[in-house]
Structure 1
Amino acid sequence: MSTVRLTVAQALVRFLTAQYSERDGQRHRLIDACWGIFGHGNVAGIGQALVESGQGPGAPLPYHQGRSEQAMVHAAVGFARQRDRLSAQAVTTSIGPGATNLVTGAALATINRLPVLLLPGDTFATRPADPVLQQLEHPAAGDVSVNDALRPVSRWFDRVHRPEALIPAALDAMRVLADPARTGAVTLALPQDVQAESHAWPEEFFAPRVWHVPRPAPDADALARVADAARAARRPLLVAGGGVHHSRAEDALRALVDATGIPVASTQAGKGSLRHDHPCDMGGIGHTGTAVADDLARTADLVIGVGTRWTDFTTASHTLFQHPGVRFANLTISADDAHKMAGTPLVADARAGLTALTAALAGHQVPDTYREEYAAGRAAWERVVTSVLLPADEDAPPTQPQVLGALDAVVGEDDVVVNAAGSLPGDLHRYWRARSPRQYHVEYGYSCMGYEIPAALGVRLAAPDRPVWALVGDGTYLMGPTELVTAVQEGLSVKLVLLQNHGYASIGGLSRQTGAEGFGTAYRFRAPDGSYTGAPLPVDLAANAASLGLRVLRARTWAELRAALAEAREEPRPVCVYVETDPAPSGPPAQAWWDVPVAATSALPGTREARAAYERAVRARRRHL
């Protein structure tokens, strides 16, 4: 067997360049690029290997320079989601704080089932000095390092203690990244001395390798049970989750509902599975859902979940589905999710399963009276959306939903809107009119503040011809604006929409609702009594964005905002549209409950009132058995 002598880091880089995924006969680079910040734990290993491999045009493993380790993971996750999990990116960091800064991003990737390869440096495997810089001295275990914090948030974790251990570790890492049922963050911890060690590697290790992504078909008996349940149901509802997008099953979903008339509600990850103007699209479901979707959910006798994890926002903390005889069926590629809600499991690829279900339901349609009911509810909600998105006075400062209305007026089918946290996900889920499957990119599995800007970079790298918008409030912006510098450096034309509302608007509202009086949620000076109720802080976030290299367009009114957004859409370089929003509540309240426990005893009248409301609401919670 012929061999080649390389360092561990050089071998890993060469191996990664030869990995491919394949689905439906189409091949993709499995590891598209590598983000990195270098320190003493990886600069002489992975860093040296990347520069030696070449970084000019057509580099075998292109490198992107990040500013924050967490943000680099977010960028890689945004990339992977836009590529339907068929391509991923790697992230390398030094040991110590660089590595532990990966934990939040790794949790986000794993919770959302999105692939990212983490390559943190680690302390010496040979222990030449003890302790070394940034080594964690654990009193009961000499082999623990800070990288072990990544174990619970990774779908696969390995530490490469010796050069020859790289071969099984790297192969296992690719196997998990390419597995649609298991994918998430994959961590290969790389001790800094081992990275630089030389080893004779078999040439076979570097041969091109294709990881086939299967489309498993549903079990025939399980399919028959679900089809029988659908034929017997009078009020079926299909809930589309993120698995519809990951499987590229949108056409199969549309074929099913066109044939049967079953209405579709969507989770945050599943929004856009049907176009907003399809007659069977009821919009978002759950606490942030639409009135029509939630009304249908309350009376549904069969709920078919497709590619959903059934989180508490979707189920309204198990208070939403109230039909006495409601039953569930779960079409998902994950056997772990298939049994949730005591549902009939249909373990399969979403596209393959929907296609099979359409065939099994040939000739079946929902009752005409049901179609008429949900069509009327859909029309009524569309009137609500129009009234919320469009202002009565175009020369007044816009509310937050009206910002979305202005954006809705200028985007096309190719635009991608990125968001993750605060009150924007709720407004987007209720009101956004998704025009295409990839337009709506809201990360709500982890709802991580600071995701939006770096994720927009990742989306832009994955889809360089698409206009990409990052929607952020001031709270999120202040947590992580630094990757705007990366956008400028790389010439990535992301479009930042920056909303100034002087604090954490979403949590402020929740705090007041639960009797905590908005404590610690406003960006204001301290008042004489010590509370943060003084004047708003004189922070100019637009000037900050300009200082990082963006062109900034300021808008004071809705009319100015719409014009600025239209101008930003045509801007070839990174641009920021800044607007101070009217904080007055707009739009109807949440259409379904969400469980946030309230203090059981309190001297505050507001808290006691909130507790009484909580006890009334929690009575509707039920276990589906």
Structure 2
Amino acid sequence: MTHTDSPTVRLTVGQAVIRFLGAQYVERDGVTEKFFGGAFGIFGHGNVAGIGQAMLQYQDEFPYYQGRNEQGMVHIGIGYAKMRNRLGALAVSTSIGPGATNMVTGAGTASVNHLPVLLLPSDVFATRSTGAVLQQQEMPYAQDVTANDSFRAVSRYFDRVWRPEQLAPALLEAMRVLTSPADTGAVTIALPQDVQAEAYDFPEALFRERVWHIARNRADRAAIRRAAEVIRGAKKAVIISGGGVIYSEATEALVRFAESTGLGVGVTQAGKASFPYDHQLALGALGASGSVYANGPAGEADVVIGVGTRYTDFTTASNTLFQNPDVRFVNINVAEIDVHKEAAIPLLGDARETIDELLEELGGWSVGADAREAAVASASAWRAEIDRIVELDDSPTLSQAQMLGLLNEAAGERDVVVNAAGSMPGDLHRLWRPGSTKGYDIEYGNSCMGYEIPGAVGNALGDRSRHVFGLIGDGTFLMLSQEILTAVQEHLKMTFVIVDNYGYGSIAALSETRGAQAFGTRFHERGEGGRHDGERLEVDFAANAASYGAKVWSADTADTFRDALAEAKAFDGTSVVYVQVDAQGRFGGSGAWWDVPVAEVSELESTRAARAKYDESKASQGLYL
């Protein structure tokens, strides 16, 4: 039978998309499961009668979820993919114009963090028989450029389906990227609104169940031998464990490697839960948001072994952390762009398999007894420091650290904490003690304010057996709180914790240290002089959350917060706990620097003083390699 004689089925493009997505599976280590957990959609001009009709038609086989904000829907998809270890994803459909471009920030967040989300924005009429309805971004130089081209910069794969015949290769390429351990991220397929509703005789083979096998690629054997030779020559080596360890499910392999070699393990923000926090070689958080107990050994190390990390600005302390002039790097990563960073010996391969093969090549090598004992001592000292920082005192208002300590006490072994931008990610990176590898989701790759609530919803949808705590500050809550209603609608048993520190507290602290006097970071009315120094703006966050249908508790002391958390967690539905913390309650430092430029000239003494400190720190900065 020729290809043209193959059986066909007549479907609209929208129907074909949903039929195809429902037939996609992934397999790794012998476990096969559906890749797509369903789709979110906000319907309007462009998709209501196309993809929307298709979701209606197939809703019994392909779950539909209703979102409140297009960016929020993408963030839900990100949280879902993270919980599923990138072996599952959600699709998101939007209308044309602003409904579509509202997703751009979410797309950037997904791609930055290498998390699969399929975006299906509506687009202009392919026939050009009408104008760019509700999307009047008409380009004077090209009629095939639309507002959706803004997705190109933030998508790992972008396509626009001008004709039904183009759909099959577009979908197959989309799946190739979505299931790739190295190249995954946001995938955007723009769908012209008339094409969505157009019928075509698609080959039935397109809709047969298709299994995408996720390979565990091995690193080059010669590179492993070179890496082992470098490591055997180390006197003070350290391991950096990143998010790739979690996605590869390589924690047990890394524990074996650390115990055999005696090397301490520092964790990045994405890799926070990749290594047991109570292990005797767990140095804790590393980098600008880390602690001196990990950054000290990293700064002195003559060999750094990076596993599943991309060496972000925070991890490297803006390229000032690794101060040993003879330091050499060994990198294990599935992504070629990351494995070569820091001029490393590149071990391009799956983390779990490569760790085991590198350990075998080392042949029982271990760092000297003094270096092992020093790593154990640093890890022990940091655990004691955490206890000291979160310890309750007689202060009338909880510090943010104390609040996190109480929340950590309430969280069970399989519970999840979700957060994003602000001061809390740094505090969580240092202080949180996760009970499992999926117990910690802090979006810090894109530092995206607004991820907290929808990201928590995505985690809860990804694994309903876990209790998810979505932790959000008052400033971020005012940006994107609507998906609390989605949690209520889907009967998700989860808890949101709203932390009120009277404005953009994180940026206020940063602004003060950079000589900008916390300008524009607090929520105040205009005073008599016309500046924002009048009465504080009061927002009833508890009432706001309750208006979405969640059960709400308020707390202002350690006892009331502890009781509220217990009752909220026991509640059979979506709960919210509102708590005020000391806006100035900070602790310690990381022992590392972060490059935030300060004005080189200024009339303000605070800025001039900050610039002097900046120049001093800048002098130790290396190049980004």
Normalization by structure 2: what TM-score?
Answer: 0.98
1:32 maps to 2:33: no
Give the 3-state SS of the residue equivalent to 2:278 in structure 1. Answer: coil
Hey, what's the Cα distance between the residues in 2 that align with 1:414 and 1:407?
14
| Structure-to-structure mapping, 1:393-408, within 5 angstroms | 393=394, 396-408=396-408
Q: Hey, what does 1:259 align to over in structure 2? A: 260
Residues 325-474 of structure 1 mapped to structure 2, 5 A cutoff: 325-393=326-394, 396-474=396-474
- How far 1:134 moved relative to its partner? 1.6
Are the aligned partners of 1:502 and 1:524 in contact in 2 as well (CA < 8 Å)? no
Distance (whole Å) between structure 1 residues aligned to residue 135 and residue 234 of structure 2: 61
Q: Which residue of 1 aligns with 2:484?
A: 484
Gaps of at least 5 residues in structure 1 are: none
Deviation sequence 1:231-263 (CA, Å, 0-9, x none): 110111110111001111111111111211111
The answer to whether the 8 Å contact 1:288/1:591 transfers is: no
Residue 89, structure 1, aligned to residue 94, structure 2: no
Partner of 1:319: 320
Write the letter of the residue equivalent to 2:17. L
Q: Distance in 1 between matches of 2:281 and 2:219?
A: 24
Partner of 2:3: none
2:11/2:202 contact within 8 Å kept:
yes
**Whole-Å separation in 1 of the counterparts to 2:119 and 2:624:** 38
The alignment partner of 2:478 has SS state of helix
1:20 aligns with 2:19: no
Deviates more, 1:355-364 or 1:105-114: 355-364
AA at the equivalent of 2:467: P
Whether the 8 Å contact between 2:264 and 2:376 is mirrored in structure 1 is no
Q: Deviations over 1:49-92 (max 9, x none)?
A: 11111x3xxx3210000000000000000000000001111000
Which amino acid in 1 is paired with 2:574?
P
**CA–CA separation in structure 1 for the residues paired with 2:137 and 2:11:** 30
Alignment partners' CA distance in 2, 1:607 and 1:280: 41
- Give the RMSD, CA atoms, in angstroms: 1.1
CA contact (8 A) 1:396 1:558 kept: no
Q: 1:131: Cα distance to partner? A: 4.2
Q: Distance in 1 between matches of 2:423 and 2:623?
A: 29
Q: Is this contact kept in 2: 1:342–1:624, CA < 8 A? A: no
SS in 2 for 1:315: coil
Q: How does 1:54-453 map to 2 (within 5 A)?
A: 55=59, 59-393=60-394, 396-453=396-453
After alignment, is 529-538 or 473-482 more displaced? 529-538
| Residue aligned with 1:199, SS | strand
For residues 325 and 488 of structure 1, do their structure 2 counterparts lie closer, same or farther at Cα, with a shift above 3 Å needed? Answer: same
Identity %: 51
Residues 160 and 190, structure 1, Cα contact 8 Å, conserved in 2: yes
Please give the alpha-carbon distance, in whole angstroms, between the structure 1 residues aligned to 2:91 and 2:573: 26
> Residue deviations 1:368-422, cap 9 Å, x none?
11122122222222222111111113x7321111111101111111000000110
In the alignment, what sits opposite 1:563?
A: 563
8 Å CA contact 2:413–2:436 kept in 1: the answer is yes
**Cα deviation 1:569-603 (Å, max 9, x = unaligned):** 21111111111111233321232100000000000
CA distance in 2, matches of 1:245, 1:533: 46
Query: What SS does structure 2 have at the residue aligned with 1:549?
Result: coil
**C-alpha distance in structure 2 between counterparts of 1:454 and 1:203, whole Å:** 36
**Number of paired residues?**
620
Rounded to whole Å, the distance in 2 between the matches of 1:530 and 1:541 is 27
Please give the alpha-carbon distance, in whole angstroms, between the structure 2 residues aligned to 1:412 and 1:358.
Answer: 33
The range that moved more, 587-596 or 96-105, is 587-596
1:150-201 CA-partner distances (Å, limit 9, x unpaired): 0110000000000010010011001110011100000000000000001011
Secondary structure of 1:578's match?
A: strand
2:530 maps to: 530
Say whether the 8 Å CA contact 1:266–1:283 is kept in structure 2.
yes
Q: Identify which of 39, 42, 46 aligns with 2:47.
A: 42
Equivalent residue of 1:313, what SS?
coil
Letter in 2 for 1:574: T
Work out the CA distance in 2 between the residues paired with 1:479 and 1:151: 25
Partner of 1:553: 553
C-alpha distance in 2 between matches for 1:349 and 1:378: 27
Tell me the residue number matched to 1:494. Answer: 494
**Aligned equivalent of 1:543:** 543
